[in-house]
Amino acid sequence: MSIAIAELPGPFAARRVIEFEGPYLPPEILLPDAQPDAFLATNAAQDSRFYERATNKVVMANHAILIVTPRSKILVDTCIGNDKHRPRNPHWHMRTGPFLDDLKSIIALTEIDYVLCTHLHGDHVGWNTHLKDGRWVPTFPRAKYLLGKTEVAFWKKAIASDPDANHGSWVDSIQPIFDAGQAIVVDDDYELEPGVRLVPAPGHTPGNVMIRLEHGGAISYVIGDTMHHPVQIERPEWSSKFCWDSSLSTLARRSLLETIADTGAWILPAHFPTPTALRIESHAHGFKSCG
């Protein structure tokens, strides 16, 4: 499914292509500090779009975000992918789904100019590649795959000691991009084109980045996993169990919220369910979201 999202500044447009959306994990599993009483006291817990009370599961999504600029078509974060061997995570293991057909319904794969991964976890790199004649090959034949240098260095070191690190996703979803000559390692604050720049946001992973879109003073951020769930707008100190450094992750969220609150800027996270894109307002006790 493809859905248009947000009124981005100026000439930018965004669509999300959904791989999965629905109840996913109990809140205290996703966010270890979100113990039941504390979680149920939040506004997010009262919103059926974000929390399914009957199953005690937060509602989440996996989606890619297609950003269209006057110069480029940029696909941000490529989800889990089909046919990926992920036995440690049953949600990811050997998936078969219509994501690629849904994407092709709005854009030809050859039209993608850039693939940009905010970080290199397995659920953000999966459709970098697909199986062809028993081999993993780049899904987007013309695209340059932009990878932040801090993130690449971290995972290269990790797989040197454990090739199965990160669910083995380097082997099937990253290395084939390098082998094809389509990977470009960039600075964590790289400017892709006027108005499109990476912003370092370490914490979820060492090289986690966001994408800042600016036109005429209006700004939006594609934030990857800097936040996982809307409840973190209210409780930015709640880091996910998947975060490499929870203190840095909290710092990144607080910094983002303080920067954009009351400015009209949009955030487009990687796992927020519909409506996905939100604005942030400040109030006496911190921050809240608005559509």
pLDDT of amino acid 1: 76
pLDDT digits 0-9 by tens, 203-246: 999 999 999 999 988 899 999 999 999 999 999 999 999 999 99
**Single pTM value for the model:** 0.95
pLDDT digits 0-9 by tens, 129-158: 999 999 999 999 999 999 999 999 999 999
Count Cβ neighbours within 10 Å for each residue of 163-189 and write b for 16 or more, e otherwise.
Answer: eeebbbbbbbbbebbeeeebbeebebe
Mean predicted lDDT score pLDDT of the chain: 95
| Residues whose CB falls within 8 Å of the CB of residue 51, separated by 6 or more in sequence, listed in order | 27, 44, 45, 57, 58, 59, 231
Which CATH number does the domain 2-290 belong to among 1.20.1250.20, 3.40.50.300, 3.60.15.10, 3.30.2000.10? Answer: 3.60.15.10
How confident is the model over 176-189, as a mean pLDDT? 98
Q: Any idea which residue has 């005429």 for tokens?
A: 216
pLDDT of amino acid 291: 64
| Residues whose CB falls within 8 Å of the CB of residue 78, separated by 6 or more in sequence, listed in order | 64, 115, 117, 124, 125, 126, 127, 128, 139
Amino acid at 189: D
What is d(CA 87, CA 113) in angstroms, rounded to the nearest whole number? 32
| Residues whose CB falls within 8 Å of the CB of residue 172, separated by 6 or more in sequence, listed in order | 84, 85, 129, 136
CA distances, 182 to each of 87, 111, 119 (Å) = 28, 15, 17
Rg for the chain (alpha carbons), in Å? 18
